[in-house]
């Protein structure tokens, strides 16, 4: 039986890398004594997959993983059990049983259905007025071009079409951005790249400071509407 | 509390080293405890967190309701730079408070090359480096671990040393500390009377004209002239933590480590651990199975590593391994052995284990020829090595690692070339296995370390081979290897030279360590940071000759810097063993009959083989 588990990666462990987080989650499952399935073969792996990797330094209020258990268990039981066994910095928020739809061969993996992600991005600035003037200009511009570094080299990309919603406030010398952007295997925009674009184009942003990025939620398309992954699999 | 800001962490490599908050780590309220203790490992987080002894003591100390034990590690140089630039003192991972605010800092001494990191950690905390200049109100610095058996090179850094196993002695010290808080001098005088404690400031040394030691004696009548090591008599009665801190980030030994026994009966003549940890004491299988259960449950690991000096000597090893495997089969828990003896029995054990997960095979013949293996009392024959290798290849492995040493006492060029010969012979064993049975991709990796004579071994009087000799010898091995399947690795000889200087150093070496630190030495165990030039300058400026410590043959009647420590093994026994080495005579494994090292006579509680299934 497959379950979709929503969890947090809190700010205090934001510097834990993806693979380390994966190992940590596997240990949480093992400690919770859940009947997790293992892959066959010489070096069996737990049937755990994280829906969308989070880069080092980014924290999240809405992470998801797929797990496969050997027998059916109450969703709430799984949540309680796991929360008893998480380290500081991880909380289980929701567990949804993924029920196979009749006629469809297999429900899609969480990672395959993601279309968008919501982020909060906080950039430290040196002058609030300057930031407000610059960001107004940016918002009215038709293209947001930035050099993207890939394995094959550097290329200029226009990231604006991948930004679906964009709101901001400026207070206490902080530019707070709340944004919904493309995410997943079809279109993808890294929140870091968006933050870099802002940093490059707004002079009054402190370039030396850490940029605090929180992933708030992951979305998939259901009946032409963006819904959270939990909602997607709920009956 | 230090605020370790994200503005710093995002600029450094592996920031997860510096955040704490791992599963099973301890948090206490500072106003509800009496003693703040910082357990300090003078190396980077991933190395320090892999050390079993530290993990045990962390929990032992935190079991006391009056003590809050936290952890500190050496920050990697990129983090150190950030911390120094931003005026952040070195902090403990739990509270993030500066180490300066602690009552006691306990350093573990696992290898000599970590000593400059101790100095750097003190300096980064704003603590005075020299014990003689440190204020009454600054933290007390203590140290323990295998290198504490020659404490003298750190005599003016460390306030007191603990010799032997820490579980009991720690509690004795902390009980006394509570009554002497704030009175450092009185406290040190008081604990100097506890068995296993050495307070260097209460002793004085004078030297002969030839720089050897003339006299070592306590300054006061109530301070004992001999310091006896401490050890736990019954391992089944000692607290073993049911929890272990589980790091977020991958560490060197990222698994449950199960300590099976202490001590070793093989009596290899180069090995310090084999002497200082006597007598052999085992934990019972039932106890270990129970501990494994609890640790697997509390950590979530899926791998157990059995730990001890020579794991196949555990008297109930087969039963222990099969029970562990059987019990945790459903959870796909694998069992691994750190190093194994070279015989067919141990190969059978490995076959048992590899049903779950295939791990690498490592054998340590230590020397290339039978003559040399007999000199060091390794007790392994060429036939055993080759049979074991054959069995390994027949069981489906195609890679094997062999460990050797060069620069051993009484070694000849023929002995050294023997390393090449035996490596080639191992290759030949592979080709004797029918093509259909053997796995493809043969690789034999032979590594040689450079021998460093250590205190409390039969070779403690021996000169180390000079760097020039070592270079010659390594060259000889390289040229003598004929098979392309053999990969030959070797250590840097300058590092081994410095290790030899510090390992058998006296109080004058302390000035060299301080000078080297002032000149920028740190992370000397890491080749990317080790700078021999610094050390050469430091020795010159202090007027200390490294050759005096590394290359000089000592006579049996010389007073050695560590002679005041009583490990239970008689000096006469070490002399006898060295004489037997010269004559290429073997000494039997003492499980086959007592070899009269003295530990069971000198220490009335020192029963050999306590807990063993005989």
Q: Which of A19, A30, A88 sits opposite B21 (nearest CB)?
A: A88
Whole-number pLDDT of residue B240: 83
**pLDDT, tens digit, 9 for 90 and up, residues B270-298:** 999 999 999 999 999 999 999 999 999 99
Q: Per DSSP, which regions of B480-557 are E strands?
A: 486-490
Is the pLDDT score of A49 beyond 90?
A: yes
Optimal mutation site among B1, B3, B8, B10, interface A, most CBs of chain A within 10 A: B10
Is the pLDDT score of B359 beyond 80?
A: no
Q: Residue B517 in contact with residue B422, Cβ under 8 Å?
A: no
Whole-number pLDDT of residue B357: 54
Cα-only R_g, chain B: 24
Interface of B with A in 405-444 (CB under 8 A): none
Whole-prediction pTM: 0.93
> What phi-psi label fits residue B340: left (phi over 0), alpha (psi between -120 and 50 degrees) or beta?
beta
Task: Tell me the pLDDT band of B252, cut-offs 50, 70 and 90.
Answer: confident
Is the pLDDT score of B356 beyond 60?
A: no
Q: Residue B172 in contact with residue B186, Cβ under 8 Å?
A: no
DSSP letters, B448-502, are: EEEP---TTSTTTTSPPPPHHHHHHHHHHHHHH---TTEEEEE--HHHHHHHHHH
- Average pLDDT, rounded, for chain B: 93
Question: A52 vs A14, A64, A93, A192, A223, CA distance in Å?
Answer: 15, 7, 17, 15, 22
DSSP letter (8 states) at residue B285? H
Whole-number pLDDT of residue B16: 92
- Average pLDDT, rounded, for chain A: 93
Our CA-based measurement puts residue B336 at a distance from the nearest CA of chain A, in whole angstroms, of: 14
The pair phi, psi for residue B473, each rounded to 5°, is -70, -40
Query: Exposure string (b/e) for B37-61, b if CB count within 10 Å is 16 or more?
Result: bbbbbbbbbbbbbbbebbbbbbbbb
Is the pLDDT score of A182 beyond 60?
A: yes
**Contacts by residues B209-217 (CB-CB < 8 Å, ≥ 24 positions apart):** B211/B548, B212/B558, B212/B559, B213/B506, B213/B558, B213/B559, B213/B560, B213/B561, B214/B559, B215/B559, B216/B559, B216/B561, B216/B563, B216/B564
**pLDDT, tens digit, 9 for 90 and up, residues A114-133:** 999 999 999 999 999 999 99
Contacts of B298 in chain A (CB under 8 A): 31
* Element holding B296 (H helix, E strand): helix B285-299
Contacts of B301 in chain A (CB under 8 A): 27, 30
Task: Tell me the pLDDT band of B420, cut-offs 50, 70 and 90.
Answer: very high
Our CA-based measurement puts residue A43 at a distance from the nearest CA of chain B, in whole angstroms, of: 6
Our CA-based measurement puts residue A128 at a distance from the nearest CA of chain B, in whole angstroms, of: 20
3-state SS record for chain A: CEEEEEEEECHHHCCCCHHHHHHHHHHHHHHCCCCECECCCCCCCECEEECCCCCCCEEEEEEEEEEEECCCCCHHHHHHHHHHCCCCCCCEEEEEEECCCCCCCCCCCHHHHEEEEEEEEEEEECCHHHHHHHHHHHHHCCCCEEEEEECCEEEEEECHHHEEEEEEEEECCEEEEEEEEECCCCCCCCHHHHHHHHHHHCCCECCCCCCEEEEEEEEEEECCEEEEHHHHHCC
Task: Tell me the pLDDT band of B367, cut-offs 50, 70 and 90.
Answer: very high
Contacts of B248 in chain A (CB under 8 A): 13, 16, 20-21, 24, 87
**pLDDT, tens digit, 9 for 90 and up, residues B556-594:** 999 999 999 999 999 999 999 999 999 999 999 988 999
Interface check for B19 against chain A (CB to CB < 8 A): the answer is yes
Percent of chain A scoring above 70 in pLDDT: 99
Interface check for B77 against chain A (CB to CB < 8 A): the answer is no
DSSP letters, B363-416, are: EEEESSSHHHHHHTT----HHHHHHHHHHHHHTT--EEEEEEEES-TT--HHHH
* Assigned token pair, B533: 């030039």
Task: Cis check for the bond before B426: say yes or no (omega within 30 of 0).
Answer: no
- List alpha helices for B181-214, DSSP H: 184-191
Q: Residue B106 in contact with residue B19, Cβ under 8 Å?
A: no
How many angstroms separate the most distant Cα atoms in chain B? 75
Which residues are CB-neighbours of B343 under 8 A, at least 6 positions away?
A: B312, B380, B384, B387, B388
**pLDDT, tens digit, 9 for 90 and up, residues B107-132:** 999 999 999 999 999 999 999 999 99
Q: How many Cα atoms sit within 13 Å of B579 on the Cβ side? A: 8
Closest CA to B316 of B526, B613, B559, B109: B613
* Assigned token pair, B119: 């100095």
Q: Which of A33, A43, A87 sits opposite B357 (nearest CB)?
A: A43
Query: Count of CB atoms within 10 A of residue B31's CB?
Result: 5
Our CA-based measurement puts residue A179 at a distance from the nearest CA of chain B, in whole angstroms, of: 22
Whole-number pLDDT of residue A210: 94
Whole-number pLDDT of residue B614: 67
Q: How far apart are CA B368 and CA B346, in angstroms?
A: 21
The pair phi, psi for residue B349, each rounded to 5°, is -60, -45
Do the chains contact at B301 and A85, CB–CB below 8 Å? no
Q: How far apart are CA A220 and CA A232, in angstroms?
A: 7
Optimal mutation site among A9, A10, A11, A16, interface B, most CBs of chain B within 10 A: A16
* Assigned token pair, A228: 């959270």
The pair phi, psi for residue B5, each rounded to 5°, is -75, 150
Task: Tell me the pLDDT band of B348, cut-offs 50, 70 and 90.
Answer: confident
* Assigned token pair, B276: 């200082």
Closest CA to B460 of B423, B504, B490: B504
What residue has token string 């070694």? B411
Q: Which of A30, A85, A89 sits opposite B331 (nearest CB)?
A: A30
What residue has token string 């030279």? B497
SS3 of residue B213 by DSSP: strand
Interface check for B176 against chain A (CB to CB < 8 A): the answer is no
SS3 of residue B589 by DSSP: coil
Report the first-to-last Cα separation within chain B, whole angstroms: 54
Interface check for B5 against chain A (CB to CB < 8 A): the answer is yes
The interface predicted TM-score (ipTM) is: 0.88
Q: How far apart are CA B257 and CA B308, in angstroms?
A: 10
Give the chain A residue nearest B255 (alpha carbons).
A27
Q: Tell me the angle at which helices B317-327 and B285-299 cross, rounded to the nearest 10 degrees.
A: 30
Q: Please report the number of interchain residue pairs, chain A to chain B, with beta-carbon separation below 8 angstroms.
A: 72
Report the first-to-last Cα separation within chain A, whole angstroms: 16
Location of each CATH 3.30.70.580 domain in chain A: 2-107
Q: How far apart are CA B288 and CA B324, in angstroms?
A: 9
Interface check for B300 against chain A (CB to CB < 8 A): the answer is yes
Q: Which CATH class is domain A115-224?
A: alpha beta
Q: How far apart are CA A33 and CA B259, in angstroms?
A: 25
**pLDDT, tens digit, 9 for 90 and up, residues B72-119:** 999 999 999 999 999 999 999 999 999 999 999 999 999 999 999 999
Our CA-based measurement puts residue B23 at a distance from the nearest CA of chain A, in whole angstroms, of: 5
Please give the CATH topology (third level) of the domain spanning A2-107.
Alpha-Beta Plaits (3.30.70)
Q: How far apart are CA B581 and CA B587, in angstroms?
A: 9
Is the pLDDT score of B1 beyond 80?
A: no
Closest CA to A58 of B15, B592, B326, B233: B15
Is the pLDDT score of B7 beyond 80?
A: yes
Which residues are CB-neighbours of B231 under 8 A, at least 6 positions away?
A: B164, B165, B262, B277, B279, B281, B603, B606
Whole-number pLDDT of residue B167: 86
Whole-number pLDDT of residue B397: 86
Q: How far apart are CA B283 and CA B277, in angstroms?
A: 15
Interface check for B211 against chain A (CB to CB < 8 A): the answer is no
Residues of A contacting chain B (CB within 8 angstroms)? 12-17, 19-21, 23-24, 26-31, 33, 38, 42-44, 56-57, 85, 87-89, 208-210, 212
Q: How far apart are CA B544 and CA B535, in angstroms?
A: 11
Give the chain A residue nearest B23 (alpha carbons).
A87
Contacts of A56 in chain B (CB under 8 A): 15
Q: Residue B464 in contact with residue B551, Cβ under 8 Å?
A: yes
Q: How far apart are CA A32 and CA B297, in angstroms?
A: 8
Is the pLDDT score of B2 beyond 90?
A: no
Whole-number pLDDT of residue B344: 64
Q: How far apart are CA A111 and CA A114, in angstroms?
A: 6
Whole-number pLDDT of residue B342: 74
């Amino acid at each position: 039986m497959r379950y979709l588990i929503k969890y947090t990666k809190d700010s205090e462990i934001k510097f834990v890398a993806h693979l380390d987080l994966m190992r940590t989650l596997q240990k949480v499952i093992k400690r919770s004594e859940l009947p997790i399935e293992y892959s066959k073969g010489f070096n069996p792996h737990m049937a755990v997959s994280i829906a969308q990797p989070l880069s080092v330094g980014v924290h999240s209020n809405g992470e998801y993983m797929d797990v496969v258990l050997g027998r059916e268990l109450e969703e709430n039981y799984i949540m309680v059990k796991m929360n008893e066994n998480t380290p500081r910095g991880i909380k289980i928020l929701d567990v949804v049983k993924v029920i196979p739809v009749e006629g469809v061969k297999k429900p899609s993996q969480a990672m395959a259905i993601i279309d968008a992600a919501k982020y909060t991005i906080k950039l430290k600035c040196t002058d609030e007025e300057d930031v407000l003037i610059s960001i107004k200009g940016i918002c009215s511009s038709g293209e947001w071009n930035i050099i993207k570094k890939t394995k094959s080299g550097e290329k200029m990309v226009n990231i604006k079409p991948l930004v679906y919603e964009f709101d901001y406030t400026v207070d206490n010398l902080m530019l707070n951005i709340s944004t919904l952007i493309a995410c997943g295997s079809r279109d993808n925009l890294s929140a870091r790249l968006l933050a870099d674009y802002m940093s490059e184009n707004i002079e009054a942003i402190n370039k030396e400071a850490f940029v605090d990025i929180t992933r708030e939620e992951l979305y998939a398309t259901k009946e032409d509407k963006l819904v959270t992954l939990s909602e997607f699999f709920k009956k | 509390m230090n605020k370790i800001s994200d503005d710093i962490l995002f600029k450094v490599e592996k920031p997860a080293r510096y955040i704490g908050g791992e599963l099973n780590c301890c948090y206490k309220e500072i106003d509800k405890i009496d003693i703040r203790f910082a357990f300090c490992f003078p190396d980077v987080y991933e190395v320090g967190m892999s050390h079993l002894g530290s993990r045990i003591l962390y929990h032992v100390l935190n079991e006391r309701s009056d003590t809050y034990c936290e952890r500190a590690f050496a920050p990697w140089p990129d983090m150190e730079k950030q911390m120094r630039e931003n005026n952040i003192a070195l902090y403990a991972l739990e509270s993030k408070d500066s180490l300066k605010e602690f009552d006691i800092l306990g350093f573990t001494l696992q290898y000599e090359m970590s000593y400059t990191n101790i100095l750097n950690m003190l300096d980064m905390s704003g603590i005075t480096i020299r014990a003689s200049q440190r204020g009454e109100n600054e933290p007390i610095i203590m140290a323990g671990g295998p290198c504490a058996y020659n404490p003298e090179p750190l005599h003016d850094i460390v306030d007191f040393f603990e010799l032997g196993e820490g579980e009991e002695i720690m509690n004795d010290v902390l009980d006394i500390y509570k009554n002497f808080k704030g009175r450092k001098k009185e406290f040190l005088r008081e604990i100097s009377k506890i068995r296993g404690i050495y307070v260097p400031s209460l002793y004085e040394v004078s030297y002969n004209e030839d720089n050897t030691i003339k006299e070592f004696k306590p300054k006061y009548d109530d301070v004992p002239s001999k310091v006896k090591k401490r050890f736990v008599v019954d391992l089944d009665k000692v607290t073993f933590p049911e929890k272990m801190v589980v790091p977020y980030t991958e560490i060197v030994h990222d698994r449950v480590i199960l300590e099976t026994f202490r001590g070793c009966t093989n009596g290899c003549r180069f090995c310090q651990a084999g002497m200082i940890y006597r007598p052999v004491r085992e934990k019972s299988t039932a106890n270990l199975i129970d501990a494994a259960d609890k640790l697997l449950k509390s950590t979530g690991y899926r791998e157990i590593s059995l730990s001890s000096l020579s794991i196949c000597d555990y008297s109930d090893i087969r039963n222990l391994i099969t029970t562990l495997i059987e019990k945790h089969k459903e959870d796909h828990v694998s069992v691994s052995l750190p190093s194994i003896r070279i015989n067919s029995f141990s190969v059978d054990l490995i076959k048992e284990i590899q049903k779950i997960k295939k791990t690498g095979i490592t054998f340590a013949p230590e020397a290339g020829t039978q003559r040399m293996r007999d000199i060091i009392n390794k007790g392994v024959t060429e036939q055993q090595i080759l049979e074991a290798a054959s069995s390994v290849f027949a069981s489906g492995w195609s890679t094997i690692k062999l460990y050797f040493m060069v620069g051993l006492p009484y070694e000849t060029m023929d002995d050294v070339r023997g390393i090449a010969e035996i490596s080639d012979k191992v290759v030949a064993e592979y080709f004797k296995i029918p093509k259909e049975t053997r796995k493809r991709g043969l690789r034999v990796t032979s590594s040689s370390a450079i021998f460093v004579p250590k205190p409390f071994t039969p070779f403690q009087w021996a000169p180390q081979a000079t760097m020039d000799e070592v270079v010659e010898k390594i060259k000889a091995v390289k040229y003598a290897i004929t098979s392309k399947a053999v990969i030959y690795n070797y250590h840097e000889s300058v590092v081994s030279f410095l290790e030899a200087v510090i390992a058998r150093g006296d109080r004058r070496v302390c000035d060299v360590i301080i000078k080297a630190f002032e000149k920028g030495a740190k992370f000397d165990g890491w080749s990317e940071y080790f700078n021999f030039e610094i050390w050469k300058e430091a020795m010159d400026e202090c007027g200390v000759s490294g050759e005096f410590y590394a290359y000089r043959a000592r006579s049996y009647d010389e007073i050695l810097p560590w002679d005041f420590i009583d490990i239970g093994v008689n000096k006469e026994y070490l002399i006898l063993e060295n004489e037997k080495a010269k004559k290429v005579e073997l000494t039997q494994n003492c499980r086959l009959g007592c070899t009269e090292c003295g530990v069971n006579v000198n220490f009335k509680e020192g029963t050999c083989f306590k807990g063993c299934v005989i």
